[in-house]
Amino acid sequence: MTRAEAASKTEVRRSPDAKLEEAVGLAAAINLEIIDSAVITQRERRPATLIGPGKVEELKGIIAAGEIALVIFDHPLTPVQQRNLEKELNAKVLDRTALILEIFGERARTKEGRLQVELAHLNYQRGRLVRSWTHLERQRGGAGFLGGPGETQIEADRRQLQSKIKGLEAELDQVRRTRQLHRAKRQKRPHPIVALVGYTNAGKSTLFNRMTGADVFAKDLLFATLDPTLRRTTLSHGTEILFSDTVGFISELPTHLVAAFRATLEEVIEADIILHVRDVADPDTLAQADDVRQILRDLKIDADDSEHVVEIWNKIDLLDASERERIGTLASNMSGINAPHLVSAHTGDGIDALLVDIERRIAGRVAEIDVTLDSGGMSHLSWIYQNASVLERQDLENGSVHLQLQMTQQGITELNRLKASGTGIRLG
Ligand SMILES: Nc1nc2c(ncn2[C@@H]2O[C@H](COP(=O)(O)OP(=O)(O)OP(=O)(O)O)[C@@H](O)[C@H]2O)c(=O)[nH]1
């Protein structure tokens, strides 16, 4: 059974309750105290307030009684709806995009991450300004509308936003260029990259820590990791790899946010192997996996290429015996390379088998090569140690050194270039 077949065997749509639970989790991610939450069923969407007048009244009562300062709608709101609701409810109103932006704002740690979030924020605001302006314009008769304090103010705000956006884009460009230089340097160091992706809270950071012995912030918080983290690890047969932990994905991630994080996700785009970490104890696991695959496709990654993308079914320790058996059967029905890894990043179950599999997959991408450095080629020794895994070294009596190396194809090409440009290196 392929992954697509396995997925199609089960209903993947989220229940309203699961969506609500996720939204509550998002709010908790920035330490908001949740007073109340509810699913509202709406037959028609009201252009002015999204929800009907009866519901608005009901909410008003709850808000006044609970002294609630903020109301979050897990649904896109137009600028007009947001403003009207704020007035009616006498509380600040955010929609899902605004909430995610708030979370990203709190989490970003690197300069690039912070700039990206700020830019996404400004773009979000700009979209709202432009839309409300067109709305006003339409109300006052379109092209005939000239001057007036409202327009002047909005126009001024828009210009100010525009120039801020331009400034930020330039700054971001500079930061990215520096990072690309670093990356170019690293690419010359041909360690394969293994990137972790997954729905937010799936356990990527915990798995990353487990596999690398690192101590990355892992918490039961959505979007605990925002900036990519890289760490070098040596696998049991000596293969050196770089593990990369990235921002968690989420459904309905606003498109401009995906665009903003595209640069940060370059590690994923260029990774030799992608580990798609899934929380199989979450009732929503199938819908979450679908969302992740969609985002991978947006990044032009073939999520169904099982050579490249490996599914990790995490948190198996949370399953009861019958669920575990069901998941185990499902996994064993998925043949060969399609088969997912059942693990618990928490207890360490399944991690060794996963590391062996990573090493095996990488072995297909790395090759062994013998190199002899004569005395004239010794200056290349440090480059070799940086760029290859040295499996064996023999210091010969005539002063030359014989090395047995493991390198990626890219590294071998580089080595051939070195050989062609200088003396003292013999291959084979
Ligand atoms: N029981 C159990 N809990 C786990 C396991 N793996 C992770 N967790 C818990 O799940 C929560 C989320 O884990 P993280 O590693 O922060 O998840 P993440 O995918 O990096 O999250 P984001 O940063 O939001 O993308 C934490 O409370 C972890 O302790 C597991 O195998 N079993």
Mean pLDDT value across residues 313-339: 88
Kindly tell me if the per-residue pLDDT of 272 is higher than 60. Answer: yes
Cα(first)–Cα(last) distance of the chain, in Å?
43
- Judge contact between 269 and 293, C-beta under 8 A: no
Instruction: Express as a percent the part of the chain with pLDDT over 70.
Output: 77
Mutation to probe ligand 1, out of 103, 107, 205, 314 (largest number of atoms < 8 A from CB): 205
User: Measured from the CB, is residue 276 less than 6 Å from ligand 1?
Assistant: no
pTM: 0.68
CA of 200 to the centre of ligand 1 (A): 9
User: Measured from the CB, is residue 319 less than 6 Å from ligand 1?
Assistant: no
Collect all residues with Cβ–Cβ distance below 8 Å to 266 and sequence separation of at least 6: 183
Question: What CATH code is assigned to 366-427?
Answer: 3.30.70
CA dihedral 48, 51, 56, 58 (to 10 degrees): 170
Task: At 38, list the tokens.
Answer: 């509810």
**Could you report the per-residue pLDDT of 140-153, keeping only the tens digit for each?**
443 333 334 456 67
Mean pLDDT value across residues 45-69: 91
Query: Residue 221 has what pLDDT?
Result: 46
CA of 223 to the centre of ligand 1 (A): 11
**Could you report the per-residue pLDDT of 346-396, keeping only the tens digit for each?**
999 999 888 888 888 887 776 788 999 988 888 888 888 877 878 889 999
10 Å CB burial of residue 303 (0-12, 13-18, 19+) is buried
The complex scores an ipTM of: 0.98
HSE, side-chain direction, 13 A CA sphere, residue 277:
29
Pairing of strands 425-427, 366-373: antiparallel
Q: What is the pLDDT confidence band of residue 229, given thresholds at 50, 70 and 90?
A: low
What backbone phi and psi angles, to 5 degrees, belong to 391? -85, -35
Mutation to probe ligand 1, out of 201, 318, 354 (largest number of atoms < 8 A from CB): 201
Question: What CATH code is assigned to 190-363?
Answer: 3.40.50.300
Mean pLDDT value across residues 107-115: 74
Biggest CA–CA distance in the chain, Å, is 92
What are the sequence ranges of the domains in the chain?
35-103, 108-175, 190-363, 366-427
Question: Which of residues 286 and 407 earns the better pLDDT score?
Answer: 286
H helices present in 227-376, as ranges: 255-262, 266-269, 285-298, 321-333, 351-363
Question: Which of residues 140 and 172 earns the better pLDDT score?
Answer: 172
Lowest mean pLDDT among 74-78, 164-168, 362-366: 362-366
User: Measured from the CB, is residue 315 less than 6 Å from ligand 1?
Assistant: yes
Q: Is 359 helix (H, G, I), strand (E, B) or coil?
A: helix
Calculate the average pLDDT of the chain.
Answer: 79
- Judge contact between 112 and 175, C-beta under 8 A: yes
Task: At 398, list the tokens.
Answer: 């005539």
CA of 299 to the centre of ligand 1 (A): 24
10 Å CB burial of residue 426 (0-12, 13-18, 19+) is middle
Mean pLDDT value across residues 196-218: 78
Indicate which atom in ligand 1 lies nearest the CA of residue 343. 31
User: Measured from the CB, is residue 201 less than 6 Å from ligand 1?
Assistant: yes
- Determine which residue's CA is closest to atom 27 belonging to ligand 1: 220
User: Measured from the CB, is residue 219 less than 6 Å from ligand 1?
Assistant: yes
Query: Residue 133 has what pLDDT?
Result: 43
- Determine which residue's CA is closest to atom 6 belonging to ligand 1: 203
- Judge contact between 307 and 336, C-beta under 8 A: no
Cα–Cα distances (Å) from 277 to 253, 285, 347, 426, in that order, read: 18, 10, 16, 43
Cα torsion 213, 219, 221, 224: sign: negative
Indicate which atom in ligand 1 lies nearest the CA of residue 314. 31
